[in-house]
Structure 1
């Protein structure tokens, strides 16, 4: 079974618990911190992957390091240690956030532009694409990419809307090449 399928199962379980207790926002914040810790602390990953360290020592360590998180989040971490699935934490966090956003009608968008977008431009993109996607809100992550020359490329989930000058020039070139044949 692939890691993403397994991660989704754990994320669904935690999501349902959070929905029942109305603490999805708190769980998301905790999971983001945990994900960040696991991404940036290689020694933590090595410790938890070490077969010579007992599960109980690993669990005790995790209880101490993440003592401020909710019991539900901590229980999920401890279960991942028991099942030797600590390596799926980043996928679990990603799936959890995706489910939470979907339940609230929120989508994440990566917007590539040649320069940092202004507040007005960001708001206009949010409103336009929220209507187009039939969602309540669109969270924008602006990525500056000077190679696109101008315009914007927007990625929402698996969909890409490309209005960049670079792409328009490529299309024009293709039309000219096929017209000359």
Structure 2
């Protein structure tokens, strides 16, 4: 990689190019599913990420593995895009490109991402209640939840939507109480 070039300067143009192709071909949702599946594969397998990031591994080997992973489950345009990333030496940015594509898709469809940190597992009813609150708060047409479990919260939840944070955790309440007492 050239000096002075940040990952953002690489990630965003590729994600925009993928979105442009998806819009031209009326495949925005389909490619959204594809990049979601690819992100899950990368996040669930550290070995896969290391394999794709390794500069010593030949491009043909990377392409072969990607073809096996993708199989018939991804659209041919998505597969061609993956091959292009390998050819251009940009496959190590795959997760970031997919994440950027998903952000563009959410913006296009007026969907917000709510990052929820909870002390324990949330029921479907609780997830629906969070979605409703975030919809009312943001005016979005839909809400995607990204849920993380953090037992250190003791109880309650923390919701992040963009730069806004709603801390309804017991830890947060204790912190606020301690600040007000001091």
TM over 0.5, yes or no? yes
Kindly report which structure 2 residues correspond to 1:22-33, keeping only aligned pairs within 5 A, or say none.
Answer: 22-33=26-37
Kindly report which structure 2 residues correspond to 1:21-170, keeping only aligned pairs within 5 A, or say none.
Answer: 21-39=25-43, 40=45, 42=47, 45-46=50-51, 49-51=54-56, 53=58, 55=59, 57-58=60-61, 61=64, 64-65=67-68, 66-68=70-72, 69-170=74-175
TM-score normalised per structure 2: 0.81
Say if 1:60 and 1:101 are closer, same or farther in 2 by CA, change over 3 A: closer
Q: Matched residue of 1:172: which SS?
A: helix
Structure 1: 5+ residue runs without aligned partners?
Answer: none
CA distance in 2, matches of 1:166, 1:92: 35
Per-residue CA deviation, residues 103-149 of structure 1 (Å, 9 max, x unaligned), is: 11111212222332333332222112112112111122333333223
Structure 2: 5+ residue runs without aligned partners?
Answer: none
Say if 1:139 and 1:64 are closer, same or farther in 2 by CA, change over 3 A: closer
Q: Highest CA radius of gyration, 1 or 2? A: 1
Q: Matched residue of 1:142: which SS?
A: strand
TM-superposed CA distance for 1:71, in Å, is 2.5
Maintained 8 Å contact 1:10/1:92: yes
**Pairs aligned (count):** 175
Please, what is the CA RMSD of the aligned residues?
A: 2.5
